[in-house]
């Protein structure tokens, strides 16, 4: 059997975020940040990614692995591992229980020990679970570049296509921020071929319900388009309404209509389109039940 090996590349470790960015700058864009490695290294083995240099940021755990509340935001560091998000009481309390549901079905426990928030987002795989949650919650990515310059990018600008993000060659994703909502409920629904696989289709939904009215909604679908899809039309239809099963069926129909799946080994496009609708309705129903609990 031929062995899969990355193309020749150099390796270094970062001593701080600013050092990592300085190294990116010095290497003139021919380098990639290496975090958990469970996305980038397989991509390098497949020669789909051929960086001339990888900068290992695992030593930056004290600086970049955190989940904390600041004002009315939750901030998650880019090197926060999936297992940390799965087991976070703060995330469970603030966003019941969309992070835990997605993390529990994301890959397998061994991958979750090492894989990171930043790696998931920067891989920009439209079938990946955590990205669905970040899109539904309208997370904002903090990108730091040369000279410490930071910019904050919404998810609609962040994911440009499969494996393509707004992160520039000399920039690094350092944090993702989420607004806190009162009356929050969320859910993640996934259909997969086997435990730990990428989704055939997944739906991430979140609602904020106050006084019997939906004040805020987030609806995202994974594996049914070139990026994780934000189903805006469904969100607009939900906000201002009283939660009801009919409403959620309608929102599911919009997700079905607005997604753009391809037929592939995971199933035909019309099947995926139907599943996107069913999962969106289910996720919204459960999100509402959690919000009203």
Partner 1 sequence: MLVSISINGQEYSHDVEPRLLLVHFIREYAELHGTHWGCDTSNCGICIVLMEDPNSDQPPYPVKSCTMLAAMAVGYEITTVEGMPKPDGTLDPIQQGFHEMHALQCGFCTPGMMSTGRWLIERHPNPTQMTDHEIRDGISGNLCRCTGYDNIVKAIRWAAAYIDEHPESARTAR
Helices 269-291 and 245-258 pack at an angle, to 10 degrees, of: 150
Which one of 104-112, 135-143, 223-231, 285-293 is the stretch in contact with partner 1 (CB under 8 A)? 104-112
d(CA 210, CA 268): 39
Instruction: Note whether 81 and 115 are within 8 A (CB).
Output: yes
Which one of 110-118, 129-137, 208-216, 258-266 is the stretch in contact with partner 1 (CB under 8 A)? 110-118
Compare residues 147 and 195 and give the one whose CB is closer to partner 1: 195
What H or E segment, with its residue span, contains residue 174? Answer: strand 172-179
Site for partner 1 in 111-170 (CB under 8 A): 111, 113-114
Which residues are CB-contacts of 18 (< 8 A; sequence separation ≥ 6)? 148
Single out the residue of 14, 33, 34, 67 in contact with partner 1 (rule: CB under 8 A).
34
Which residues are CB-contacts of 208 (< 8 A; sequence separation ≥ 6)? 181, 182, 183, 184, 185, 214, 215, 216, 217, 291
Single out the residue of 18, 19, 25, 37 in contact with partner 1 (rule: CB under 8 A).
37
Residues in contact with partner 1, shown as a per-residue x/- string from 187 to 226 under the rule CB under 8 A: --------xx------------------------------
Which residues are CB-contacts of 70 (< 8 A; sequence separation ≥ 6)? none
Q: Is 43 in the site for partner 1 (CB under 8 A)?
A: no
Measured CA to CA in angstroms, residue 239 lies from 184, 212, 251 at distances of 13, 11, 11
Q: Is 26 in the site for partner 1 (CB under 8 A)?
A: no
Which one of 36-44, 116-124, 220-228, 235-243 is the stretch in contact with partner 1 (CB under 8 A)? 36-44
Question: How many residues bind partner 1, per CB under 8 A?
Answer: 29
Q: Is 11 in the site for partner 1 (CB under 8 A)?
A: yes
How crowded is residue 13: how many other Cβ atoms within 10 Å of its Cβ? 15
Q: Which DSSP category does 59 fall into?
A: G
For the CB of residue 43, give the shortest distance to partner 1 in the complex, in Å.
Answer: 11
Compare residues 10 and 150 and give the one whose CB is closer to partner 1: 10
Q: Which DSSP category does 173 fall into?
A: E
Instruction: Note whether 15 and 59 are within 8 A (CB).
Output: yes
Single out the residue of 29, 69, 72, 108 in contact with partner 1 (rule: CB under 8 A).
108
For the CB of residue 58, give the shortest distance to partner 1 in the complex, in Å.
Answer: 7
d(CA 67, CA 46): 33
Question: Which residues are at the interface with partner 1 (CB under 8 A)?
Answer: 1, 3-11, 34, 37-38, 41-42, 44-45, 54, 56, 58, 107-111, 113-114, 195-196
């Amino acid at each position: 059997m031929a062995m899969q090996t990355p193309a020749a590349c150099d390796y270094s470790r970062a001593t701080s975020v600013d050092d990592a960015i300085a190294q990116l700058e010095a290497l003139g864009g021919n380098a990639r940040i290496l975090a958990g490695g469970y996305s980038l290294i397989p991509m390098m083995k497949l020669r789909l990614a051929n960086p001339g240099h990888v900068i290992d940021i695992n030593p930056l755990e004290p600086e970049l692995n955190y989940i904390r509340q600041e004002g009315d935001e939750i901030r998650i560091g880019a090197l926060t591992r999936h297992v940390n998000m799965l087991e976070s009481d703060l995330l469970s309390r603030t966003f019941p229980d969309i992070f835990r549901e997605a993390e529990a079905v994301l890959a397998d426990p061994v991958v979750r020990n090492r894989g990171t928030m930043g790696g998931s987002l920067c891989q920009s795989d439209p079938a990946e679970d955590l990205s669905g949650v970040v899109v539904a919650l309208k997370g904002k990515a903090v990108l730091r570049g040369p000279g410490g310059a930071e910019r904050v990018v919404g998810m609609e600008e962040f994911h440009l296509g499969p494996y393509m993000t707004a992160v520039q060659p000399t920039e690094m994703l350092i944090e993702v921020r989420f607004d806190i909502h009162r009356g929050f409920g969320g859910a993640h629904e996934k259909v997969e071929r086997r435990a730990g696989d990428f989704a055939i289709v997944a739906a991430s939904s979140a609602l904020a319900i106050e006084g019997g009215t939906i004040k805020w909604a987030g609806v995202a679908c994974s594996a049914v388009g070139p990026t994780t899809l934000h189903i805006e039309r469904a969100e607009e239809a939900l906000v201002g309404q009283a939660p009801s099963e009919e409403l959620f069926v309608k929102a599911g129909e919009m997700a079905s209509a607005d997604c753009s799946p391809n037929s592939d080994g995971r199933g035909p496009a019309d099947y995926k389109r139907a599943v996107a609708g069913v999962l969106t309705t289910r996720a919204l129903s459960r999100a509402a039940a959690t919000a009203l609990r």
